[in-house]
Amino acid sequence: MAHEKLWGGRFSEPTDTFVEEFTASIDFDKRLYHQDIRGSIAHARMLGKQGILPMAEVEKIVHGLQGILARIEEGNFDFSVGLEDIHMNIEARLTEKIGEAGKRLHTGRSRNDQVAVDIRLYLRDEIVEISAYLDLLVDSLIYQAETNLGVIMPGYTHLQTAQPILFSHHMMAYVEMFTRDKGRMEDCLRRMNVLPLGAGALAGTTFPIDREHVAELLDFPQVTRNSLDSVSDRDFALEFMAASSILMMHLSRFSEELILWSTSEFKFVELTDSFCTGSSIMPQKKNPDVPELVRGKTGRVYGNLMALLTVMKALPLAYNKDMQEDKEPLFDTIDTVKGSLKIFADMVREMRINTGNMRTAAAKGFSTATDVADYLVRKGMPFRDAHEVVGKTVAYCIANGKDLPDLTLEEWKGFSDKIGEDIFDCITLEASVNARAATGGTALERVKGEIERVKAGR
Q: Give catalytic residues, as residue numbers.
A: 158, 279
Task: Specify the stretch interacting with ligand ARG by CB under 6 A; choose among 138-146, 175-183, 243-251, 316-324.
Answer: 316-324
Q: Are the beta carbons of 338 and 131 closer than 8 angstroms?
A: no
Q: CA 183, 184, 186 angle in degrees (round to 5)?
A: 65
3-class DSSP state for residue 24? coil
Partners of residue 270 on adjacent β-strands? 352
Give the shortest CB-318-to-ligand ARG separation in angstroms: 10
In 3D space, the residue among 20, 141, 148, 158 whose CA is nearest the CA of residue 82 turns out to be 20
319 binds ligand ARG (CB under 6 A): yes
Q: Distance of CA 326 to CAs 164, 241, 301, 309, 420, Å?
A: 47, 11, 13, 9, 68
Is the Cβ of residue 199 or residue 341 nearer to ligand ARG in the bound state?
Answer: 199
Binding to ligand ARG in span 364-393, by CB under 6 A: none
Is the Cβ of residue 323 or residue 363 nearer to ligand ARG in the bound state?
Answer: 323
Is the Cβ of residue 114 or residue 393 nearer to ligand ARG in the bound state?
Answer: 114
Q: Distance of CA 113 to CAs 106, 127, 183, 432, Å?
A: 11, 21, 28, 61
Torsion 44-194-340-358 (CA) sign? negative
Give the shortest CB-152-to-ligand ARG separation in angstroms: 54
Give the shortest CB-5-to-ligand ARG separation in angstroms: 12
- d(C-alpha 396, C-alpha 280), whole Å: 48
Binding to ligand ARG in span 74-133, by CB under 6 A: 85, 111-112, 115
Q: Which helix (H) or strand (E) holds 56?
A: helix 55-74
33 binds ligand ARG (CB under 6 A): no
Give the shortest CB-12-to-ligand ARG separation in angstroms: 20
Give the shortest CB-310-to-ligand ARG separation in angstroms: 16
321 binds ligand ARG (CB under 6 A): yes
Given candidates 248, 323, 376, 444, which one binds ligand ARG under the rule CB under 6 A? 323
What contacts 271, CB < 8 A, 6 or more positions away? 258, 262, 288, 290, 291, 347, 350, 351
42 binds ligand ARG (CB under 6 A): no
Give the shortest CB-104-to-ligand ARG separation in angstroms: 19
- d(C-alpha 135, C-alpha 458), whole Å: 9
Phi, psi of 352 (to 5 degrees): -105, 145
Is the Cβ of residue 218 or residue 323 nearer to ligand ARG in the bound state?
Answer: 323
Is the Cβ of residue 89 or residue 340 nearer to ligand ARG in the bound state?
Answer: 89
The CB-based long-range contact list for 262-265 (8 Å cut-off, 24+ gap) reads 262/288
Number of residues counted as binding ligand ARG (CB under 6 A): 10
Given candidates 25, 40, 140, 340, which one binds ligand ARG under the rule CB under 6 A? 25
275 binds ligand ARG (CB under 6 A): no
In 3D space, the residue among 369, 356, 352, 359 whose CA is nearest the CA of residue 426 turns out to be 369
In 3D space, the residue among 182, 184, 186 whose CA is nearest the CA of residue 141 turns out to be 182
Q: Distance of CA 368 to CAs 146, 267, 386, 418, 436, Å?
A: 25, 22, 13, 18, 12
163 binds ligand ARG (CB under 6 A): no
Given candidates 163, 324, 333, 367, which one binds ligand ARG under the rule CB under 6 A? 324
The four Cα atoms 278, 282, 286, 288 give a dihedral, to 10 degrees, of -80
Task: Specify the stretch interacting with ligand ARG by CB under 6 A; choose among 192-200, 249-257, 277-285, 319-327.
Answer: 319-327
The site map against ligand ARG for 414-443 (x = CB under 6 A) is ------------------------------
Q: How many helices (H) and strands (E) does the chain have?
A: 20, 6
10 binds ligand ARG (CB under 6 A): no
233 binds ligand ARG (CB under 6 A): no
Give the shortest CB-323-to-ligand ARG separation in angstroms: 5
Q: Distance of CA 136 to CAs 297, 340, 450, Å?
A: 20, 12, 18
Give the shortest CB-50-to-ligand ARG separation in angstroms: 24
Is the Cβ of residue 59 or residue 229 nearer to ligand ARG in the bound state?
Answer: 229
Task: Summarize as ranges the residues that interact with ligand ARG (CB under 6 A).
Answer: 25, 29, 85, 111-112, 115, 319, 321, 323-324
